[in-house]
Amino acid sequence: MKTIPSVLVEATADKLYAAQPKVYPRELDGRFARLRVAAVFALLGIFYIFPWLRWDGHQAILLDLPARKFHVFGLTFWPQDFFWLAWLLIIAGLALFFFTAVAGRLWCGYACPQTVWTEVFLWIERACEGRRNQRIKLDSGPWTREKVVRKSVKQVLWVVLSLWTGFTFVGFFTPVAQLGQEIATATLGGWELFWILFYGFATYGNAGFLREQVCKYMCPYARFQSAMFDRDTLVVSYDVARGEPRGSRKRAADPRQLGLGDCVDCDACVQVCPTGIDIRDGLQIECIACASCIDACDAVMDKMQYPRGLIRYTTENMLAGRPRHVLRPRTLIYGGLLTLLLGAFVWGVAHRSAVIVEILRDRNALYREAPNGDIENSYTVKLVNKTDAEQRYTLALPPDSSLQILGNTTATVAGGAVANIPLTLRAARTPGAAGMRKIALNVSNTDHSTNATQTTQFYVPEIK
């Protein structure tokens, strides 16, 4: 049996915050690096382009808080629809649990905004200051004219990107074309200016300076991820049995004759890590599963003509030589609930009523008695047209109702508008019918593509 030496790693758990030197991730190329680049372009493309898209005459995605309407690709969500927003947040949380249980911290490594914007800021830093060794040398050297120019250009580009990010963020809440015009004419509102600067500053600070510190000390996800992991969760792992004992050697040397494992102790996996950890020390909360260490190690293994996979995506069971179980109680429960909630969300949004009906009783008089002895109740019917087109609605009672509607039974409501319709219902005074009676009012548009029913109470006094 092969003896695997253990390494004692200095602990910093007794410190609330451990000051660390700046991390200089080395640039690299590999299959996972290319996947991250594709994710960056896709996600930032969505963020920066979507506010400029038009749909049915207005901005495709506009979260119009003053008007209390959210426009999302032709769908308009009103305050009464915020139930679906809460439902969507539940789906997002459950999806995070499901994908974490199956594939670990894929969100952190490929889709987290902190990861995405940090990657872009690193691209700018490399373009202005050079490769890893050049950046280290530049930072450790004296302030020269070249250093001032390089640092200044980098900071200018960082600030421009941060402000553009803040502008785009506010553009989801204020029509982006209007926002641009307000900036051009210096008529920008105070709150809009505040949020552009605030979000721009947050982007500048988090992606430019805090970087891995956000993942280590500010993000709670790393802290509770262990509750969602099990022995079949996919994580980035170093194969200790294959790699140890580590040590340098010539390319043509046989590691078995030297008593070494496959790890050549080149520290490439540490140099490329954006959080500055050594994956060979085992799974750590700082690891964001970006797989940079996998790409770096695979490149070294190719040069040494060793098999790839010394560092790889794997599970504890697979490292121990046991099979991986993708279908297990945790993933089945998460996956089943996620499918159920997502299906219910899609069905519910697709079958939402295009009109909101509210019936308010007259507060001044509980009832009125007509000259012929009939009883009348007065109401105000509030109609909210949730579509963008003008609609003509008809108010009707069920066919078997003993009540009748007095006055006009139709109303025209402009697209996205609210109308208050006075309504009077009359019923004949009938012995034994005193008290509150539950009634239903149906509202439909001209082609009956929209139908909504709302209930209210009709009061009949006792016969004296």
* pLDDT tens digits for range 124-157: 999 999 999 999 999 999 999 999 999 999 999 9
- Phi, psi dihedral angles at 374 (to 5 degrees): -70, 160
pLDDT of res. 273? 96
Which value, in Å, is the radius of gyration of the alpha carbons in the chain?
32
Could you state, in order of their start, the residue ranges of all structural domains in the chain?
A: 16-352, 355-460
From 354, 403, 350, select the one nearest 383 (Cα to Cα): 354
* Residue 326 · residue 232 · CB < 8 Å: yes
Mean per-residue pLDDT, 300-305: 96
The domain covering 355-460 belongs, at the CATH homologous superfamily level, to Immunoglobulins (2.60.40.10)
Residue 357 pLDDT more than 60? yes
pLDDT of res. 14? 55
The span from the CA of 17 to the CA of 23, in Å, is 16
* pLDDT tens digits for range 380-411: 999 999 888 899 999 999 988 889 999 888 99
* pLDDT tens digits for range 83-95: 898 999 999 999 9
Residue 449 pLDDT more than 90? no
What would the two tokens of residue 210 be? 């805090």
Q: How confident is the model at residue 10 (pLDDT cuts 50, 70, 90)?
A: low
The span from the CA of 251 to the CA of 304, in Å, is 5
* Residue 387 · residue 76 · CB < 8 Å: yes
pTM metric for this prediction: 0.85
Residue predicted with more confidence, 56 or 191: 191
How large a percentage of the chain has pLDDT more than 90?
74
Compute the mean pLDDT over every residue in the chain, rounded to the nearest whole number: 91
The span from the CA of 355 to the CA of 405, in Å, is 20
Residue 239 pLDDT more than 80? yes
The span from the CA of 38 to the CA of 289, in Å, is 16
Residue 220 pLDDT more than 90? no
Number of neighbouring beta carbons within 10 Å of residue 108? 21
pLDDT of res. 5? 56
- How many Cα atoms occupy the beta-carbon half-sphere of 362 within 13 Å? 16
pLDDT of res. 7? 53
